[in-house]
Chains A and B, each alone.
Chain A
Amino acid sequence: MSDEKKMTEQESLDLITNMIQKAKSSYHDTGIGSLLWGTVVSIASFVSYFERTYDFSIGFDIWLIVLAAIIPQIIFSIREKKANQVKKYEDDALNSVWLVFGLSIFALNFYQIVVPGVTSKFIQEDGWQMTKHYLDGSKPDEVLIPFPPSFYSLLILLYAFPTLVTGVVKKFKPMLFGAVITYGLFIGSCFTRSEYDWLLGGVAAIICWFIPGIILRRKYLAQQKKHV
């Protein structure tokens, strides 16, 4: 592109449109983050479903893999930040949305771990307790520790939120559709037994992150090929 060339008004307008389009299409999401979270959350969800349904244990809490995934995510984020030649206005906002999402997931898990014990203590102080009573009298009553029912439904609801924001802001249809379907899965999970919530959560992770991750990765690799 030379500086000396005289342009007509139409050429100027075409150049502006062309450059704005080039800047818009320069988004280089490697898709690794989406693939990582889609994989670990779906694996953890499906393993939890099978453990509950077929009454066995793999010997450790499978959700630890989600915690462990934070380390590679940090490494990928630093690498992507270094490789990115352009910073868009929406980047900071979207990063904040995903950070808040991560914090909310941890806060909800904290709630799930802490609240039953604390509630149990409070109601005992008030002089009563929750019991499991079998209507047919086949088994004796059991003392029940209070628990948030269908807890995983809340996580499914939360999965849809940052995905929808990203889909809308980036005009990325796979995430947009993934989020809308996930809202449907959330509604479905409210009417199913809790073990099926894990199954629905696994499906949500696949459609929210894993499939969009594959599409992003393909786009990224195709873009990289063009540059070679």
Chain B
Amino acid sequence: MFKELDPILHSQLRLAVVSLLIGVKEAEFTFIREKTNATAGNLSVQVQKLKDAGYIEVTKQFKDNYPQTTCKITPKGIEAFEAYVQALQQYLKVG
């Protein structure tokens, strides 16, 4: 029986964001935008969806008078990512 792929993660930009965050402690929004080549607007929407799902934590603060948004993966996000990769592997083994 195949596990269904998590719809929150099975989207190009959201998966890219979580894959970036899985290997680091935290990353700024600008860093994620640069690495994913996404537009700020689209990225904001997807980050918000990941936050709503409890997969990432988003901290907003001011740094040198500029707003700074920092993202960090949560334990729930790590768990979901691991389950997603396991499900992918299952699909690929059969394929």
Whether the pair B35, A19 counts as a contact (CB closer than 8 A) is: yes
List A contacts of B61 (CB < 8 A): none
Whether the pair B15, A20 counts as a contact (CB closer than 8 A) is: no
Whether the pair A86, B24 counts as a contact (CB closer than 8 A) is: yes
Whether the pair B25, A1 counts as a contact (CB closer than 8 A) is: no
List B contacts of A22 (CB < 8 A): 20, 35
Whether the pair B38, A23 counts as a contact (CB closer than 8 A) is: no
What is the size, in residues, of chain B's interface with A at 8 Å between Cβ atoms? 35
Whether the pair B12, A3 counts as a contact (CB closer than 8 A) is: yes
Whether the pair A89, B24 counts as a contact (CB closer than 8 A) is: yes
Segment of A7-15, A53-61, A130-138, A175-183 engaged in the interface with chain B? A7-15
B12 in complex: contacting residue of A15, A26, A87, A88, CB < 8 Å: A15
**Which residues of chain B (1-38) have a CB below 8 Å from chain A?**
5, 10-16, 19-28, 30-31, 34-38
Known A1-B36, A2-B42, A23-B23; judge A16-B92 contact (CB<8 A). no
Known A1-B37, A15-B15; judge A9-B42 contact (CB<8 A). no
Known A10-B92, A12-B10; judge A23-B24 contact (CB<8 A). yes
CB nearest neighbor in A for B45: A3
**Which residues of chain B (64-95) have a CB below 8 Å from chain A?**
64, 85, 88, 91-92, 95
Known A1-B36, A3-B12, A26-B31; judge A20-B22 contact (CB<8 A). yes
Closest 4 CB pairs of A and B: A19-B19, A85-B31, A85-B28, A23-B23
Chain A interfacial positions (CB closer than 8 Å to B): 1-5, 7, 9-10, 12-13, 15-16, 18-20, 22-24, 26, 82, 85-89, 91-92
